[in-house]
């Protein structure tokens, strides 16, 4: 296990090493009072950035299936007295306890969604995300382009934006935003895309 720069434990490779949190947060166009969730938060660096540098006032959920990530986020909450941070250890595909139906404005998943393709649990994940977002809520996914390049997950686990559009359409969610020029500079271009889905 590699410790991310903030010293928190992460199950999987923290994007703190190669993606720019400010670039990601700017894509979300937040006002500051939204109920926000980082689903598959890992070391929580995007949540910490949002709380510390953007003074986010709305409720912020940090969710991960890895117990050590949530333990570290609980220590961070305590040490820094962050009242609007709620940390939840949960498997997104099995349900996120304590989060009401239609209560979240924005869910972010950075380098998480391809894992659902790998475990063939995309439909279960989307059902749960659709349950928790408000009628005008957003599901924002930043993930690796479906290219055969050495860095990142195996090509078979990657999805193109149009493949995701098809899968989300089955759950009555439509694409409302797409940026394909984001992430790390690699020889083939920008490494990632950022896509947003909302209820029809």
Ligand X SMILES: C[S@@+](CC[C@H](N)C(=O)[O-])C[C@H]1O[C@@H](n2cnc3c(N)ncnc32)[C@H](O)[C@@H]1O
| 199 belongs to the binding site for ligand X (CB under 6 A) | no
Distance CA 130, CA 136 (A): 11
Which parts of 156-195 interact with ligand X (CB under 6 A)? none
Q: Which stretch binds ligand X (CB under 6 A): 47-55, 106-114, 133-141, 165-173?
A: 106-114
* Least distance from ligand X to the Cβ atom of residue 129, Å: 11
Measured from each CB, the residue nearest to ligand X is 42
3-state secondary structure of 194: strand
Buried b (16+ CB within 10 A) or exposed e, 81-113: ebeebbbbbbebbeebeebeeeebbbbbbbbbb
Tokens describing residue 149: 């390049």
Would you tell me the crossing angle of helices 45-53 and 21-28 to the nearest 10 degrees?
70
Q: Is 10 in the site for ligand X (CB under 6 A)?
A: yes
Nearest alpha carbon to residue 69 among 136, 4, 23, 126 = 4
Q: Which of residues 60-99 bind ligand X (CB under 6 A)?
A: 63-66, 69, 91-93
Stretch that binds ligand X, among 40-48, 98-106, 154-162, 163-171 (CB under 6 A): 40-48
Alpha helices in the chain (DSSP H): 21-28, 45-53, 67-80, 113-118, 122-132, 161-170
- Tell me which stretch binds ligand X (CB under 6 A): 14-22, 50-58, 130-138, 164-172: 14-22
Q: 115, 137, 152, 183: which one contacts ligand X (CB under 6 A)?
A: 115
Interacting span for ligand X (CB under 6 A) from 111-119, 126-134, 161-169, 179-187 = 111-119
Least distance between ligand X and beta carbon 190 (Å): 16
Residues that bind ligand X (CB under 6 A): 10-16, 40-42, 63-66, 69, 91-93, 110-112, 115
């Amino acid at each position: 296990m590699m410790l991310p720069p903030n010293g928190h434990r992460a199950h999987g490779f923290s994007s703190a090493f190669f993606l720019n949190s400010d670039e990601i947060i700017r894509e979300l166009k937040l006002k500051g009072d939204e109920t926000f969730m980082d689903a598959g938060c890992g070391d929580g660096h995007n949540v910490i950035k949002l709380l510390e540098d953007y003074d986010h006032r709305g409720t912020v959920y940090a969710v991960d299936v890895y117990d050590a990530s949530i333990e570290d986020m609980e220590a961070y909450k305590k040490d820094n007295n962050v009242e609007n941070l709620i940390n939840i250890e949960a498997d997104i595909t099995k349900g996120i306890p304590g989060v009401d139906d239609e209560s979240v404005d924005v869910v972010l998943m950075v380098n998480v969604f391809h894992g659902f393709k790998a475990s063939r649990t995309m439909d279960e994940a989307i059902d749960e995300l659709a349950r928790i977002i408000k009628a005008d809520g957003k599901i924002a996914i930043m993930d690796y382009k479906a290219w055969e390049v050495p860095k990142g997950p195996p090509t078979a686990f990657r999805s193109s934006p149009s493949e995701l559009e098809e899968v989300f359409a089955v759950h009555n969610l439509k694409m409302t935003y797409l940026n394909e020029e984001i992430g790390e500079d690699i020889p083939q271009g920008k490494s990632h895309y950022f896509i947003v889905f909302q209820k029809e």
